[in-house]
Chains A and B, each alone.
Chain A
């Protein structure tokens, strides 16, 4: 099948799915972070129905890089803001600490398993695999927190705090993959670099390239907001950033994320930029999730001890988020909330799966496949556990009343 035809089909499917989930037809059945698209992609992919074969997936690779880069740019533009206001410093610190705690717990648990059971060939590969699992398990997706708050009409200090935490914790996995990619620069790839750059120097290159391109884009947009120039500059610089990053072998997601952060800081039109980019996030996200699902190779679970490793990563994530929940209960906003608040932070989605997909593209084989499978399982598991737990906690603190959500009442009335 022609790749362009498949792409058109994927887009149509995505929009139909998006319409069904966001509309009143099956409201409440769909998963808020779009994990169902990962599952759909898996079914369409080469390991189940085979509609999307390996060749087609390979031809989509540049588009996947650009789409994921665009998503990271949107996250960067929105970083430190929630619903048009700045995130409190205390929330920023708590969110980053929570993600670091969960990521570190995952790395620690998976490294223990990797030391005990010979899954990877070298110690370096073991750290790479554990780091990848830590990166996909660290964050809480902002989509689910927003979905629960919107769906149940939650308003109050705890809903705001949870929204802020979910917004700011994205920085941890993005910096994490920037470090991992920098540490694993291939020697033949950087053979023509005239100066010796240490591994940590490449982390600096990642951050600086993003900040430089973001500042350049903001300056090019100028003081007056012209739609034509803005889209040209925004799309041109972000695609260029992705191209330069993939060419240099550094993490393109991290580059475009920092580009978004710089743009939001320098440009006088940061709010207008957020408003312009936010609606593009979902249309880009859905095909990307479908393609991520299509790349999932469950055969990797047949490799001895890999299934145990994935289960252990999810277990470590649960422990990390429960510990974060305990910290959260110490805040004034979460007074009266039960320990279920930690389970409410378990949802992961777009960013985790994006990181899993980038990992699978950069490290094809056991490492990439394991991280991608873990990201998909974490997203699916989190989506089933987190929304009911979040709702329960918000009921406990009195920010949601125990009534049926809107839409369900209307449907029953009809």
Chain B
């Protein structure tokens, strides 16, 4: 079963990579041909980053790399220093979205915290600190 599933997965990955290349090509063409009037480039940038983030994280899964690596890779490739699909202005305009995303990550992190675990951790930390203080004195 495993032997049959592997090529299928590889085929799927190749298809995803090819489709991402098509979309990247579309955006590349659009950025070269049409001027960015009134921040329209930012909308396309957000769309591409969302899509590329989702797909590249799936692609790096095959190489057993963490999803975060995929997101970073997508950003580096699409950014103003490599393929220039997203220019400096769009990156600056996305800073408010960065703040919102960070706030959401922090919120999610807070919601997933288990109080029992935190209390145990704090107790252990307090115990170690007091031990260290008495040792050094």
Partner of A232, one of B40, B46, B51: B51
In the bound complex, residues from chain A placing their C-beta under 8 Å from that of B96 are: 4
Residue in chain B with minimal CB distance to A242: B43
Complex: A247 Cα to B90 Cα, angstroms: 13
Contacts of B135 in A (CB 8 A): none
CB pair B30–A247 under 8 Å, yes or no, is yes
Interface of A is mostly: helix
- Would you call A236 and B39 a contact (CB within 8 A)? no
| Interface pair B54/A240, CB less than 8 Å apart | no
The count of residues in chain A whose C-beta lies closer than 8 Å to any C-beta of chain B is 35
Indicate if A6 sits at the interface (CB-CB under 8 A). no
User: Which of the residues B38, B50, B58 comes within 8 Å of A236, measured between beta carbons?
Assistant: B50
A240 vs B51: C-alpha distance when bound (angstroms): 8
Q: How far is the CA of A212 from the CA of B44 in the complex (A)?
A: 16
CA–CA, A366 and B16, complex, Å: 46
- Considering only residues 38-71 of chain B, those with a C-beta below 8 Å from chain A are 38-55, 58
Judge if A66 is at the interface, Cβ distance under 8 Å. yes
Known: A216-B19, A229-B58. A222 touches B51 (CB 8 A): no
B129: interface (CB < 8 Å): no
- Interface status of A246 (Cβ within 8 A of chain B): yes
Pick the interface stretch among B21-29, B105-113, B115-123: B21-29
- A216-B23, A239-B47 known; A232 vs B54 contact (CB < 8 Å): yes
State whether the Cβ of A220 lies closer than 8 Å to any Cβ in chain B: yes
Asked if B43 and A239 sit within 8 Å, CB to CB, the answer is yes
Q: Report if A238-B42 is in contact (Cβ < 8 Å); known contacts: A192-B32, A219-B19, A220-B55.
A: no
Question: How far apart sit A360 and B55, CA to CA, in the bound complex (Å)?
Answer: 36
Identify the closest chain A residue to B43 (Cβ): A243
Q: Is the interface of B mostly helix, strand, loop or mixed?
A: helix
A391 within 8 A of B: no
Residue pair B46, A190 in contact (C-beta under 8 Å): no
User: CB < 8 Å: which of A62, A192, A235 contacts B33?
Assistant: A192
- Chain B's closest residue to A224 (CB) is B12
B44 engages A189 (CB within 8 Å): no
Is residue A271 within 8 Å, beta carbon to beta carbon, of the partner chain? no
| Contact yes or no, B47 A241, CB < 8 A | yes
User: Known: A237-B47, A240-B48. Is A246-B33 also a contact (CB below 8 A)?
Assistant: no
- The answer on a CB contact under 8 Å between A243 and B46 is yes
- A241 to chain B: closest residue by CB: B47
**Known A-B contacts A62-B39, A248-B34; A219 and B47 likewise in contact (beta carbons under 8 Å):** no
Does residue B7 face the partner (Cβ distance < 8 Å to A)?
no
Q: Assess whether B92 is interfacial by the CB under 8 Å rule.
A: no
CA distance A235 to B46 in the complex (A): 10
The answer, among A220, A232, A243, for a CB contact under 8 Å with B41, is A243
Q: How far is the CA of A323 from the CA of B15 in the complex (A)?
A: 51
| A189/B37 in contact, CB under 8 A | yes
- Does any Cβ of B come within 8 Å of A395's Cβ? no
| A220-B26 Cα distance, complex, nearest whole Å | 16
Are B41's CB and A247's CB within 8 A?
yes
Chain A residue with Cβ nearest B35: A189
Chain B residues with CB under 8 A of A209: 26
Q: Does A249 interact with chain B (Cβ within 8 Å)?
A: yes
**Which chain A positions have C-beta within 8 A of B22?**
216
Contacts from A to B (Cβ < 8 Å): 4, 61-62, 65-66, 189-190, 192-194, 209, 212-213, 216, 219-220, 222, 228-229, 232-233, 235-244, 246-249
- Enumerate chain B interface residues (CB-CB to A < 8 A): 12, 15-16, 19, 22-23, 26-27, 30, 32-55, 58, 96
New A-B contacts (19) at CB < 8 Å, excluding given A232-B50, A240-B27 = A4-B96, A62-B42, A65-B43, A189-B35, A192-B33, A209-B26, A212-B26, A220-B55, A235-B50, A239-B43, A242-B44, A243-B41, A243-B42, A244-B44, A246-B43, A247-B34, A247-B40, A247-B43, A248-B34
